[in-house]
């Protein structure tokens, strides 16, 4: 009789273990389903990352390009060459800055045109986007060389 009671207890433990395994597998499937549906990502319908980033870039683009141009000219480069190098480095930094903030920042159709011996006109198109929005903005400014 003692042996029969032990067999019943083992059966109950096995049933309990089976139930726990079943619950864990159902829970993992539910978590996977939520991740696949994208419900774990916070969604902010009033997100203004693109607008804020565009405003920040536009306010700092010309001063930053001018400062880098001055550095290259002080190092002995010619005006237009210094401007082009400064613009390339600014563009690269904006790409990395966007990666850190979670937005994509690009300046396309970037060109530098010599106006006179002391001025260079810079034109291009600034594009800022994230997963929800995209904004394009024409940029043009003048750098002193």
Q: What is the mean pLDDT of residues 45-71?
A: 88
Global confidence as pTM: 0.65
Q: What is the pLDDT of residue 13?
A: 83
Reported as a single tens digit per residue, the pLDDT across 6-57 is 556 677 788 888 888 888 888 888 777 766 665 555 545 556 888 888 999 9
Q: Are residues 69 and 108 in the same domain?
A: yes
The SS3 call for residue 35 is helix
The SS3 call for residue 9 is helix
CATH number of residue 102's parent domain: 3.30.1300
Give the chain's domain count. 2
Confidence of residue 127 (pLDDT cuts 50, 70, 90): very high
Spatial separation of the C-alpha atoms in residues 123 and 68, rounded to whole Å: 17
Beta strands (DSSP E) in the chain are 104-116, 119-129, 134-144
Q: What is the pLDDT of residue 100?
A: 75
- pLDDT over 90 at 67, yes or no: yes
Confidence of residue 2 (pLDDT cuts 50, 70, 90): low
49 CB burial (10 A radius; 0-12, 13-18, 19+): middle
Q: Are residues 61 and 125 in the same domain?
A: yes
Q: Are residues 66 and 8 in the same domain?
A: no
Q: Are residues 21 and 54 in the same domain?
A: no
From 9, 24, 41, the end of a domain falls on 41
Spatial separation of the C-alpha atoms in residues 69 and 84, rounded to whole Å: 8
- pLDDT over 90 at 71, yes or no: yes
Residue 11 lies in domain = 1-41
Reported as a single tens digit per residue, the pLDDT across 76-125 is 998 899 999 999 999 999 888 777 778 899 999 999 999 998 999 999 99
Spatial separation of the C-alpha atoms in residues 22 and 83, rounded to whole Å: 66
Q: Are residues 99 and 70 in the same domain?
A: yes
Q: Are residues 76 and 98 in the same domain?
A: yes
């Amino acid at each position: 009789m003692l042996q029969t009671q032990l067999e019943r207890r083992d059966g109950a433990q096995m049933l309990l273990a089976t139930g726990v395994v079943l619950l864990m597998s159902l829970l993992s499937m539910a978590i996977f389903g939520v991740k696949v549906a994208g419900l774990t990502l916070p969604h902010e319908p009033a997100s203004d990352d693109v607008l804020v980033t565009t405003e920040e870039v536009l306010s700092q683009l010309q001063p930053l390009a001018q400062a880098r141009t001055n550095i290259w000219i002080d190092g002995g480069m010619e005006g237009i060459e210094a401007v082009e190098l400064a613009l390339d480095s600014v563009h690269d930094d904006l790409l990395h800055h966007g990666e850190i903030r979670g937005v994509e920042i690009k300046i396309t159709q970037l060109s530098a045109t010599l106006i006179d011996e002391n001025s260079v006109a810079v034109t291009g198109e600034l594009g800022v986007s994230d997963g929800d929005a995209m904004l394009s903005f024409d940029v043009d400014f003048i750098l002193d060389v």
